[in-house]
Structure 1
Amino acid sequence: MYHFRIYITGLVGFLLVLTAEARVGYKLHSRVPCTDTPECLLFELVCKTEDYEIRRYDSVNWVSTSFKTRDKVWWLDIIALVPEFRRMKNYLNGKSVNISTNANATVAPGMVKITERKGSWMSKLVNTQEYSLNFLLPSFHQSNYTEPTNKEVEIVTTPEMYVYVKPYKGWLNEDATQAQLLFKSLGMSSDVTPHWAVGYSSPMSSKPHSEVWVIADGKPTCPPSGK
């Protein structure tokens, strides 16, 4: 079956350049979970419990596109995702007029924003939901990117942020289960707070790494068990 693994395909095999200020670059320690890409989104580990981590990320830029579907996004097949995937790939690999300089880079992660649908089971079945698909820009283009000409593609900036993270071994089709475990650990409701399904691995990986992210409201306090 095809799941989120196809989101990482367009990022494999590209050239990279290191820029330290962007906090995107070569992984500096084993905690950074990028095994299939030389470049990664770097972070500061604030604390860690048995159930989740708290990390601090610097402000970074992403290339982003949106799509709507009635299906749970991780059950979509590759045909349904081709237009969205092609938009992102065209921008990142420089093969279209979207970009005037070569942006090719191998970098992770890729992530999708997930918001739980509200209403009855019938309304959830009938109504479409919008998802945001995002790829991290390579380090060189963090401060040197070209605005996309495709109106369905945009550059978005995430500010410095603290994030609750639940890492797990597996593909993003396990996101719903893992997200509920994180929300339970945090004492939060997925009906109120969105989360991010985050993938790092290429489709050929034998040991895929994925994560659930919930962005904290300000700087969180580490629990007593944190270390």
Structure 2
Amino acid sequence: MALLHHVAALLVSVTVCLGTERAGVPPVAISSGSRDICKGLECPQFTVLNTTDKWELRHYPLTKWVATNATAMNKQEVGRTMFRRLFQYISGANAANVNIDMTAPVATKAIPGQGPNCESEFIMHFMLPFTYWQNPILPTNPAVYIVQTPPMDVYVRHFGGFATDDDYLENLATLSTDLSTAEIAVEGSFFFMAGYDGPYTFINRRNEVWIVKQ
């Protein structure tokens, strides 16, 4: 599987270099007891299509985000810079000079480089609150932009703790191997890392890796 080869290269890199759907009316954030993984924050709507002891398959409809990107050997090098840009946007660095509520998760799309000694592209996303979907407020920082992800089905593996690059990549490798063993076809050129908690949440933290189904 192509993604598994990319994951192997990224694991080496850590130590060596490391829509077709209409926007319409915004959907309602999921909130159903234990399934409220966003802990009171607005988050992308999704439908669970299948669950095993190794992964969960979800369908996400078209979703609107504010995003920024950077290129580096690993996410740790640029994560704080990207987060700061997006946090400044929701804190008033936008065309309306208004504060915008934080959402969950912080989702980072990773497009691995082609070898162990080349950089990868990282695109960090905050979901726009649903009230802004039809008329998004534009950022004032040219490095920040509004984007939408098309409808997609994703395989998800979750884990706890304060996630490092190593943790995401190890869980990604496990998920990729499990899907390959099950002969499930997936998108092999990128994946997502998702974190649901702020820095002052110390227990019951949730992190996820997403691989898009072909």
The answer to whether TM tops 0.5 is yes
Structure 1 residues 25 and 66 mapped into 2: Cα distance closer, same or farther (>3 Å)? Answer: same
Corresponding residue for 1:163? Answer: 154
Contact 1:118 1:191 in 2 (8 A): no
Q: How do 1:197-208 and structure 2 match up within 5 A? A: 197-205=193-201, 206-208=203-205
Query: Is 1:210–2:203 an aligned residue pair?
Result: no
Aligned residues: 185
Alpha-carbon spacing, 1:143–1:28, altered in 2? closer, same or farther (3 Å):
farther
Change (3 A) 1:47 1:190: closer
Classify 1:69/1:189 alpha carbon distance in 2 versus 1 (closer, same or farther; 3 Å).
farther
After superposing on structure 2, the runs of 4+ consecutive aligned residues of structure 1 that deviate more than 6 Å are: 188-191
Query: In the alignment, what sits opposite 2:178?
Result: 185
Alignment partner, residue 50 of structure 1: 53
Greater CA deviation, 186-195 or 105-114?
186-195
Partners of 2:195 and 2:207 within 8 A in 1: yes
CA, structure 1 residues 153+106, in 2 after alignment: closer, same or farther (shift >3 Å)? closer
Q: Note if contact 1:115-1:190 (Cα within 8 Å) is conserved in structure 2.
A: no
TM-score (norm: length of structure 1): 0.72
Q: Distance in 1 between matches of 2:31 and 2:41?
A: 7
The one-letter amino acid of 1:177's match is: E
| Aligned-pair CA distance for 1:56 | 0.9
Structure 1's 24 and 61: CA in aligned 2 closer, same or farther, altered over 3 A?
farther
**Do the aligned partners of 1:115 and 1:191 also contact (CA within 8 Å) in 2?**
no
Deviations 1:106-165 (A, max 9, x none): 31011111233323x4xx1xx333211111111211223122232211111011211111
**Identity over the aligned pairs, expressed in percent?**
27
Aligned-partner SS, 1:170: coil
Aligned residue identity for 1:90: Q
In angstroms, what is the RMSD of aligned CA positions? 2.5
TM-score scaled to structure 2, two decimals?
Answer: 0.76
1:40 to 43, 51, 57: 43
Q: How does 1:31-180 map to 2 (within 5 A)?
A: 31-35=35-39, 37-70=40-73, 72-74=74-76, 76=77, 81-94=79-92, 96=93, 98-100=94-96, 102-119=98-115, 121=116, 124=117, 127-173=118-164, 174-180=167-173
List alignment gaps of at least 5 residues for structure 2: 1-23
3-state SS in 2 of match to 1:40:
coil
> Bigger shift: 136-145 or 60-69?
136-145
2:32 pairs, out of 22, 28, 43, with 28
Asked whether the 8 Å contact 1:32–1:42 carries over to 2, the reply is no
